[in-house]
Structure 1
Amino acid sequence: MTEKPCAGKGLPTFPTFGGQGMAFNPLDHKGIPLDKQVRNWQELNVDPIDPDRADPYTRCRIITMNGIEVEAIMFSHHFNRICPDMEVKRRLAEVRYIEQQQQKAVNWLLPGQSSVLETTIAYEQVAVDLTGWVARMEPDPYLKQAYEFGVLEDFDHLYRYANLYEMIEHRKAEKIVDGLTEIIPGRPTPLHHRAPVDNLREPYDRTKAAPVSKLHALTIMSAEQQTMNFYMNVGPLYMEPIARRLYQEIGLIEEEHVTHYESLVDPGETWWERLVNHEYNECYLYHSFMETESDPRIKAIWELHLNMELEHLRIACDLMREHDGRDPESILAPALPEPVTFEPNKQFIRGLLATQIDLTTLGTGYVREAHERFERMQEQINGAGHVPSDEVLEQHTAQFGSDYRLSTDGRHPDPAQRRQDEQE
């Protein structure tokens, strides 16, 4: 490692890593000592990205890392609440304070002039392209199916919010996603409402699962949890009745998604094992985004935070050795997987639309036929009509003559119509 100045506003000098493409094992590197990590107000006062000029995937990386940091903070708080050891509580509190500073630096990169709806559309772009990438890379077929199932629902949420955005702000979501992500119908949002028991999945086996599978599950759970929390808080801030109602509906579906993804994590993992997995995942994602970031200033922040997380991981590993009696190397990969990459997933999503749009869940599995429990839930929540996600399309059509959609390849989004178009 060599030393270089951080390209951020007022940020300190920190180590940098050479050799892009080389296997990187976080356990082999020293980070910034914990007592050197506290930043003052000038250092935390980062300049936000320019919403009109920034790479949309830079914004996606910011949103992702905010979700990861929030999960790390809340996990540490929950651990603190059940931990009787004062020395452990002290270490958790010290690291947690730095995680809070990291979260502030990351989330404050978002521009204040963006509206809640613009940020919402960016959140759903994250959900589509992050989950789509994870689904493509996941080696376990059952876990892969969980991500494929969920991404078709987030895809439809993006479509519904894009229609709402044009209705109440008179702008097109194309400006936000920049053509990187299509905005067309997915699995219809009204069909996402399922009985709570049908949102539970089988967890991976912590003794057999590939290390990357554990990182994938933790990443998508954290991202969906962030979205759930965001909608719970911002939904009632709108004056427009249709906006308030759409956030309420999709916010309830995000509850289902968090249940869906958190169920994938083996509940047999000890608190120490979970602590190590959280810190290792933060190293993985900061390293991934440092490798793939297009904005040099933001890249420097990812690298600075990686150097901090290396020390957080070392502390977590020491706690695991002392209190769990195991070496962290027994549960971690010898090197980080290939970097998490934000990139278009258009053809992958199109393939899922053609083959999985009619799926629902039954218990911990998936079926194509509506079953009694699903139909009962549909009747309970949608039976009286006035479904917000359908009403937003009806109102958009009444206002503009059609729904809003962004098909970037010029082909019809409906698979049957698309085949007909190709034949013609």
Structure 2
Amino acid sequence: MTFNPLEQRGIPLDRQLRNWRELDVEPIDPNHADPYTRCRIITMNGIEVEAIMFSHHFARVCPDMDVKRQLAEVRYIEQQQQKTVNWLLPGLSSVLETTIAYEQVAVDLTAWVARMEPDPYLKQAYQFGVLEDFDHLYRYSNLYEMIEHRKAEKIVDQVTEVIPGRPTKYHHRHPADNVRDPYDKDRANPLSKLHALTIMSAEQQTMNFYMNVGPQYMEPIARQLYQEIGLIEEEHVTHYESLVDPGETWWERLVNHEYNECYLYHSFMQQESDPKVKAIWELHLNMELEHLHIACDLMRRHDGREPEEVLAPELPNVLTFEPNKGYIRELLATQLDLTTLGAGYVREAHERFERMQEQIHGGEEPPSERVIDRHREMFGGEYRLSTEGEHPDASLRERQRA
């Protein structure tokens, strides 16, 4: 069934404010929840955080006091939505358990987007990035067993594999080589705009999370690993945010943000297995429909254009969390050795890449390699969760040790 959010009215804004009792949602049970319920929660928290920060940035450059007040009113509701969504995560989960769930989101969300992306250049950007988050999941999973003596399958279940991806030590590139070419706002498929905004928001959330939680560990190897991967997440945010056309007006960006929130809440409402969480997705969708109409009215008044000029006439097929094991393995077999050069991709290490490697590693093994060595010392091997046989590239382990 098609769904056009531009034709739907939601809850009036003056009826969206919730009291403390309504905001005090019951968290999911970490031992029995569907792993993809947790992934949907983490995704929507990232989307809400991006919406809030975008609104703040817009307000800082907006001279119109009436618009600033309108942004502030909607933004306060977005803050309540973010608190509701993020507070669905259980306090029982450790920082590392949440970290592993964040990386599971990065893997299966980015893989799905890569599969569905209609633009070949944008598709390649997602394919490139997902192999790096896939390796981060592997590194953190080994750290998890070392520190908490538990296995990552407790978190990711059997829906996402935990095996090496593109080795993390090779993710450190010169900043200039993390900037991609943007899509053309006047020619891009509306779905491409939603994809870029979604993955940028998810990676931004992960970057911010690691920036703050890394020093909470006492174990040196944990602090070091968060520091290393946290730097790479900054690269990923640069990689994905540069895909967005900088020529979009603030009003275009505003309606794209609100439309994307409608798209994702609608998508997750369709597939959510937890009735209590599903009810929150439905409630927030009805709030976002009104936020979208407010944004569209602002665009008409201040940009002189109809939102239909930049938005899809109906929501795309629902964004789905589902296993992507075969797709990831295909990418491992064909794109493992890629790195970036300028706005493109190459298979051979180039001078700027090698110089960055020398400078950042300083002739030593980085934390991402040492955590695997330590795991081997403690347990006699590395932690993996493989559900489809051996790794597609048998030489990977040897290359990692080289």
TM over 0.5: yes
Q: Is 1:121–2:107 an aligned residue pair?
A: no
Q: How do 1:194-233 residues align onto structure 2 when only pairs under 5 Å count?
A: 194-233=173-212
Partner of residue 391, structure 2: 413
Deviations 1:135-161 (A, max 9, x none): 000000000000000000000000000
Unaligned runs of 5+ in 1: 1-21, 419-424
Q: How do 1:228-267 residues align onto structure 2 when only pairs under 5 Å count?
A: 228-267=207-246
Partner of residue 372, structure 1: 351
Partner of residue 26, structure 1: 5
Partner of residue 76, structure 2: 97
SS at match of 1:250: helix
Q: Counterparts of 1:33 and 1:301 in 2: how far apart (Å)? A: 17
Deviations 1:237-269 (A, max 9, x none): 100000000000000000000000000000000
Partner of residue 164, structure 2: 185
Q: Counterparts of 1:384 and 1:367 in 2: how far apart (Å)? A: 24
Deviations 1:149-177 (A, max 9, x none): 00000000000000000000000001100
Shift of 1:415: 2.6
One-letter amino acid of the structure 2 residue matched with residue 413 of structure 1: H
Shift of 1:417: 7.1
The count of residues paired between Structure 1 and Structure 2 equals 396
Q: Is 1:158–2:118 an aligned residue pair?
A: no
Q: Is 1:53–2:32 an aligned residue pair?
A: yes
One-letter amino acid of the structure 1 residue matched with residue 337 of structure 2: D
Q: Is 1:404–2:383 an aligned residue pair?
A: yes
Q: Counterparts of 1:416 and 1:30 in 2: how far apart (Å)? A: 55
Partner of residue 308, structure 1: 287
Conservation of the 8 A alpha-carbon contact between 2:267 and 2:319 = yes
Q: Is 1:329–2:315 an aligned residue pair?
A: no
Conservation of the 8 A alpha-carbon contact between 2:183 and 2:245 = yes
Deviations 1:206-232 (A, max 9, x none): 000000000000000000000000000
SS at match of 2:297: helix
Q: Counterparts of 1:318 and 1:68 in 2: how far apart (Å)? A: 22
Q: Is 1:167–2:146 an aligned residue pair?
A: yes
Q: Counterparts of 2:16 and 2:340 in 1: how far apart (Å)? A: 46
Choose which of 94, 109, 123 in structure 1 pairs with 2:88.
Answer: 109
One-letter amino acid of the structure 2 residue matched with residue 317 of structure 1: C
Q: Is 1:363–2:356 an aligned residue pair?
A: no
SS at match of 2:32: coil
One-letter amino acid of the structure 2 residue matched with residue 287 of structure 1: H
Q: Counterparts of 2:256 and 2:45 in 1: how far apart (Å)? A: 17
Shift of 1:412: 0.9
Percent sequence identity is 81
Shift of 1:376: 0.2
Partner of residue 347, structure 1: 326
Shift of 1:416: 4.3
Conservation of the 8 A alpha-carbon contact between 2:329 and 2:392 = no
Q: Counterparts of 1:65 and 1:387 in 2: how far apart (Å)? A: 32
SS at match of 2:210: helix
SS at match of 1:415: coil
Q: Counterparts of 2:365 and 2:314 in 1: how far apart (Å)? A: 51
Shift of 1:107: 0.1
**Could you tell me the TM-score, scaled by structure 1's length?**
0.93
